[in-house]
Structure 1
Amino acid sequence: MRLACVQLGVEGGAIEDNVAAAMEAVREAAADGADLVVLPELFDVGYFAFDAYARAAESVAGDRLSRFAAVADEEDINVLAGTVVEDLAASAADGIEAPADEGLANTAVLFDRSGERRLVYRKRHLFGYGSEETDRMVPGERVPMTDIEGVQVGVTTCYDLRFPEQFRQMVEAGVECVLVPSAWPYPRVEHWRTLGRARAIENLTYVAAVNGSGIFDSDALCGRTTVYDPWGTTLASAGDEPTTVTAEIDPDQVAAVREEFPALHDRR
């Protein structure tokens, strides 16, 4: 599976401009032969544009996400629209299972080549430490997985990288590639580099850590989108400017590494 990770340049609160740029990136990835394209965390509104969250919120079945379902179908490509601000009440009204009857969630939605919704993941670990996410968002509860192009794919979001038990839960369910849409800022760039690689190494799985690019008042995203193989080796990476990172994901490689180095069987 050819994976395209879009390190999108995100402008805080500029929803339509960000969406247009993301749609163009999806089309470019499809033209380049990608099977799956991944967008970063809150690519439409910008993570640090807290006051714009309510304005950006919509149902999982809303108009904006429907545009990504449509482009997935038109371009014959799988798309992780990850993440957007979800209006949980609107989703519930559309018959979509949600962790609460109201409030907002930080939600990733994976569409297949036909534009069908294959996975909905709501960020489980909400970030505090001066962020307003814990005050504005409802945490998710489920850790779903799905098969994309013969690869068992799971999703976590940004701060989830710091909680290895969630990744181990996914591995026990058979995950072979974890997609991590993020909005990781500069002061903790070494953490970003270390945690993504660590999750790949300890779980013998692919990890695609997909960050954004951009400056929000005093906060700047560090970029450095990176794809790690099951040994923790860097397959592809970026600096801090907008770009797209591509890599090949091979489920046979996951099986081979786990057979050669059976650490998962040695747990006690």
Structure 2
Amino acid sequence: MKLAGVQLAVEGGDVEGNVERALDRVRAAAEEGADLVVLPELFDVGYFAFDAYGRAAESIAGDRLARFAAAADEEDVAVLAGTVVEDLSASAADGLDVPAESGLANAAVLFDADGERRLVYRKHHLFGYGSEETDRMVPGERTPVVELGGVTVGVTTCYDLRFPEQFRAMVDAGVECVLVPSAWPYPRIEHWRTLGRARAIENLAYVAAINGSGRFGDDALCGRSAVYDPWGTALASVGDEPGIVTATVDPDRVATVREDFPALRDRR
């Protein structure tokens, strides 16, 4: 499976502009042969645009994500719309299972190449350090995995990288590739690099850590999106400017590494 991670230039509060840029990048990646396109955290509104969260919020069955489902179907490419501000009450009204009757969630939605919704992940670990996310968002409760193009895929989001037990639970569910849409800021570059690589090494799995690019007042995203293989080797990476990282995710490679170096079997 050819994966393309879009390090998108995100403009704070410019929902329509961000969505249009994201759709353009999805189409461009599909034209280059991608099987799966991954977008960064809160690409719709910008992570640090806290006051715009309420205005941006929609049901995950709403019109905005429907545009990504349509693009996935039209371009024959899977898309992780990865993440958006979800209005939980609106999603509940649309018949979706939600962690709370009201509030907002930081939600990632994975569409397959037919435009079908295959996975919804709501960020578990909400960031409170210099952030309003914990005040404005409701944490998720589930960490689903799904088979996509012959690869078992799971999703976490940004700050979740600091909590390795969540990744272990996905490994126990069979995950081979973890997608991590993020809005990781300066100055914690070494944390970003180290944690993505560490989660790949300790779980003998691919990790695609896809960050945004852009400045929000005093805050700026550090970019440096990367895809790590099951040994923790960076297969592709970029700097802090907008760009696309591409890599091939091979489930046979995961199986071989886990067979040759069976650390997962030695857990106690």
TM score, norm. by length of structure 2: 1.00
1:233 alignment counterpart: 233
How far is 1:130 from its partner?
1.4
Distance in 2 of aligned mates of 1:8 and 1:130: 23
Q: Which secondary structure state, in structure 2, belongs to the residue aligned with residue 186 of structure 1?
A: coil
Distance in 1 of aligned mates of 2:218 and 2:38: 26
1:250 alignment counterpart: 250
How far is 1:154 from its partner?
0.1
1:138 alignment counterpart: 138
How far is 1:129 from its partner?
0.7
State whether structure 2 residue 265 is matched by structure 1 residue 265. Answer: yes
1:52 alignment counterpart: 52
Distance in 2 of aligned mates of 1:211 and 1:7: 6
Residues 87-130 of structure 1: CA deviation (Å, up to 9, x unaligned) = 00000000000000000000000000111000000000000011
State whether structure 2 residue 118 is matched by structure 1 residue 118. Answer: yes
Distance in 1 of aligned mates of 2:87 and 2:59: 5
How far is 1:81 from its partner?
0.1
State whether structure 2 residue 20 is matched by structure 1 residue 20. Answer: yes
1:216 alignment counterpart: 216
State whether structure 2 residue 76 is matched by structure 1 residue 62. Answer: no
Distance in 1 of aligned mates of 2:157 and 2:267: 26
Distance in 2 of aligned mates of 1:156 and 1:128: 17
Q: Report the residue type matching 2:55 in the other structure.
A: R
Distance in 2 of aligned mates of 1:68 and 1:86: 15
1:86 alignment counterpart: 86
How far is 1:187 from its partner?
1.1
Distance in 1 of aligned mates of 2:192 and 2:210: 11
Distance in 2 of aligned mates of 1:263 and 1:80: 30
2:32 alignment counterpart: 32
Stretches of structure 1 lacking an aligned partner (at least 5 in a row): none
Residues 11-44 of structure 1: CA deviation (Å, up to 9, x unaligned) = 0000100000000000001000000000000001
Distance in 2 of aligned mates of 1:147 and 1:24: 26
Q: Which secondary structure state, in structure 2, belongs to the residue aligned with residue 152 of structure 1?
A: strand
Distance in 1 of aligned mates of 2:133 and 2:111: 25
Distance in 2 of aligned mates of 1:146 and 1:174: 9
Stretches of structure 2 lacking an aligned partner (at least 5 in a row): none
Distance in 1 of aligned mates of 2:56 and 2:138: 16
Q: Which secondary structure state, in structure 1, belongs to the residue aligned with residue 187 of structure 2?
A: helix
Q: Report the residue type matching 2:2 in the other structure.
A: R
How far is 1:232 from its partner?
0.3
The root-mean-square deviation of aligned C-alpha atoms, in Å, is 0.3
Q: Which secondary structure state, in structure 2, belongs to the residue aligned with residue 6 of structure 1?
A: strand
2:74 alignment counterpart: 74
State whether structure 2 residue 171 is matched by structure 1 residue 171. Answer: yes
Distance in 1 of aligned mates of 2:217 and 2:60: 29
How far is 1:162 from its partner?
0.1
State whether structure 2 residue 193 is matched by structure 1 residue 193. Answer: yes
State whether structure 2 residue 161 is matched by structure 1 residue 154. Answer: no
Residue identity (%): 79
Q: Report the residue type matching 1:46 in the other structure.
A: G
Q: Report the residue type matching 2:149 in the other structure.
A: E
Q: Which secondary structure state, in structure 2, belongs to the residue aligned with residue 66 of structure 1?
A: helix
1:98 alignment counterpart: 98
